[in-house]
Structure 1
């Protein structure tokens, strides 16, 4: 596995990875119109803008030249109060064939290093309450539940746990 920072040229690959991973993990939870409305917000143009935004950092995992995962970190937007500056791990997605490869841990480690470099005192994220695999992963990495958050997919409201880790 190779790791690097992402840039605007990765927008099409990130858009495809995000949609593939999101649908594989969560697609069964939503009505088709809610899923389509949600995914419609994430075209390559939006990804290109985010990848060019200096406030956001994309850590990319590649295998044989193909992007198989990414972690996106940036300023805190979640409704949680933390002491000191915080970085938000906004997304960590892997394709199914990269799960269990160690790429998720490597991407999280890189995001945590970004937080430290940017002077953050904590890292905060949200995770769907029934995504038990992800919750266990974050708990193994020192994250604890710090609140709840409503995450909208179209008109469907999901309940997410807010999790945080002090650096």
Structure 2
């Protein structure tokens, strides 16, 4: 079994993050969208945009690598949902693991990092959104104590998806 390396991202990681994000999103959800909508969603996520977020202290990225290849990443950022907050909050903005590496313990390791990082940053709750039909992700988040608190319209181009907003007290 390949040994995993976990580390924080640096701006030079942006091309690999962009590639993994586009490939994972398209493999998981691409069939839901017209090509123009998918392109309108992915195209603004340039290498420069990823680099800017990696360099921004309001965000935190953590990577999983196997033999020097990026196989997963998780991104935390400022809470953005229009929901009632009970205290300082953070949002799990993106979380992707290459499908070939599912079931190898990467997701739990990354989630443990995210929860610890959120606490270290003073957050008392974490929010995320998950596509309503993504049962695998929903089960994973529920195992970590996230509860559904509302709905969110997630736009992919001109296509509106229905996501659940989930919250976990830290």
2:165 to 143, 162, 165: 162
What are the within-5 Å matches in structure 2 for residues 1-167 of structure 1? 1-167=4-170
Q: Using the alignment, how far apart are the partners of 1:15 and 1:137 within structure 2?
A: 24
TM-score for both structures, normalised by structure 1: 0.98
The alignment's C-alpha RMSD in Å is 0.6
How many residues were matched structurally? Answer: 167
Structure 1, unaligned runs of 5 or more: none
Q: CA deviation at 1:28?
A: 0.2
Aligned equivalents of 1:55 and 1:121: distance in 2? Answer: 16
Report the secondary structure of 1:88's partner residue: strand
> What TM-score do the two structures reach when normalised by structure 2?
0.97
1:99-151, Cα deviation, whole Å (9 max, x unpaired): 11111111111010011001111010000000000000000111000110000
Offset, 1:19: 0.2
Inter-partner Cα distance in structure 1 for 2:44 and 2:136: 26
Unaligned runs of 5+ in 2: none
